[in-house]
Amino acid sequence: MTTSGIEGAKIVVTGATGQVGGPLAIALAENNEVYGAARFADPSSRDHLEASGVRCVRIDLASGDVGDLPGDADYVLNFAVAKSNQWVSDLEANSGGLAWLMEHHQGARAFLHCSTTAVYKPAGHRVFDEDAPLGDNHGVWPFLRTYSICKIAAEATARWGARRFGLPTTIARLSVPYGDGGGWPTVHLEMLINGSPIPVHIDAPSVYNPIHQDDILRSIPGLLAAAAAPVTVVNWGGDQAVSIEEWCTYLAELTGLEANFAPTDGTIDSVEIDHGLLDRLVGPTTVPWRDGLRAMVAARHPELLRA
């Protein structure tokens, strides 16, 4: 991953040990002063970040502890998320913690809050624009029963914080992030390796807008430039709508493994997004999904990749 468009800035990235926040913090640290914030429950998770030039700061947003984060940061990228499945603690961290973070950084030039397309109310094969109804998309998964509601609550907090502090803010609703560091397609790859059936919704196909980690990084300057008070809300996903069935079949072709599907109503429905606003703000995505998946397999399981 390489970055351009942001240089010489002081940047805070929360959720710096996560799939998306970690690579972003490392890439941005090439040309900026970057503070990577997380709970760092595993102290070893700091090592790679610090070796890459990221200044690690322990925080605990559930308690309002923003640690030693610099109050004069130019930009704040919030990728922190709590998914304990406990309502009180997850609301405290995702919504209350965001309020603490925005207050601490109220003087920033721009604040990017990473939300999710899981905030949209399931509606079959509707293409969701930013004004679509919100609802409990992920509640069908017992292990993520707090996720969608807490993300909606956090969006409300971001709206309040932007107005309260005059803090230019973008709420970016991320679709399916993936790349060398992981993502939902990576989970499916491991399921293919294990011979596990892959759940898909009975209202087939299960369509989303996967976005490669390179395009996530490339879009950061534009998303920050679009920040406003009141907030800017934008869908954040790839230009190509792709189904689980399609990408798993392609992974099977790449590896020679077999893709078996298990239709069920016990999994999330399609969430295809309208990406028109995103294209106007940052331009179209650049990594075709097949190229991105091939690179992902090459990085994670090169022994499986057919020539």
Domains and CATH numbers, the chain: 81-181+210-239+271-286 (3.40.50.720)
> Given a cut of 70, is residue 283 above it in pLDDT?
yes
Query: Cα(25)–Cα(35) distance, rounded to whole angstroms?
Result: 8
Express each pLDDT in 5-25 by its tens digit: 799 999 999 999 999 999 999
Report the pLDDT averaged over residues 51-63: 95
Q: How far apart are the first and last CA of the chain?
A: 24
Classify residue 262 by burial, with Cβ atoms within 10 Å: 0-12, 13-18, 19+: exposed
Confidence band for 307, pLDDT divided at 50, 70 and 90: low
pLDDT of residue 280: 97
- Which residue is listed with tokens 């990473």? 114
> Given a cut of 80, is residue 3 above it in pLDDT?
no
Express each pLDDT in 98-125 by its tens digit: 999 999 999 999 999 999 999 999 999 9
Q: Given CA atoms 118, 285, 74, 50 in this order, what sign does their dihedral have?
A: positive
pLDDT of residue 173: 98
Structure tokens given for 221: 């300057």
Report the pLDDT averaged over residues 26-54: 94
Whether residue 158 contacts residue 169, with contact meaning beta carbons closer than 8 Å, is answered with yes
Element (H, E) at 214: helix 213-225
Q: CA–CA distance from 69 to each of 35, 55, 73, 83, 221 (Å)?
A: 7, 10, 8, 23, 21
pLDDT of residue 4: 56
Q: CA–CA distance from 97 to each of 10, 61, 77, 80, 89 (Å)?
A: 21, 4, 14, 9, 10
Express each pLDDT in 255-267 by its tens digit: 999 999 999 999 9
pLDDT of residue 1: 40
Buried residues in 70-87 as b, exposed as e (16+ CB within 10 A): eeebbbbbbbbbbeeeee
Express each pLDDT in 175-213 by its tens digit: 999 999 899 999 999 999 999 999 999 999 999 999 999
Query: Cα(223)–Cα(201) distance, rounded to whole angstroms?
Result: 32
Q: CA–CA distance from 17 to each of 38, 58, 112, 159, 196 (Å)?
A: 7, 11, 17, 26, 28
Query: Cα(23)–Cα(15) distance, rounded to whole angstroms?
Result: 11
Element (H, E) at 162: helix 147-165
Confidence band for 44, pLDDT divided at 50, 70 and 90: confident
Report the pLDDT averaged over residues 51-78: 95
Whether residue 107 contacts residue 71, with contact meaning beta carbons closer than 8 Å, is answered with yes
> Given a cut of 90, is residue 84 above it in pLDDT?
yes
Express each pLDDT in 147-169 by its tens digit: 999 999 999 999 999 999 999 99
Query: Cα(12)–Cα(33) distance, rounded to whole angstroms?
Result: 9
Mean pLDDT of the chain: 95
pLDDT of residue 2: 44
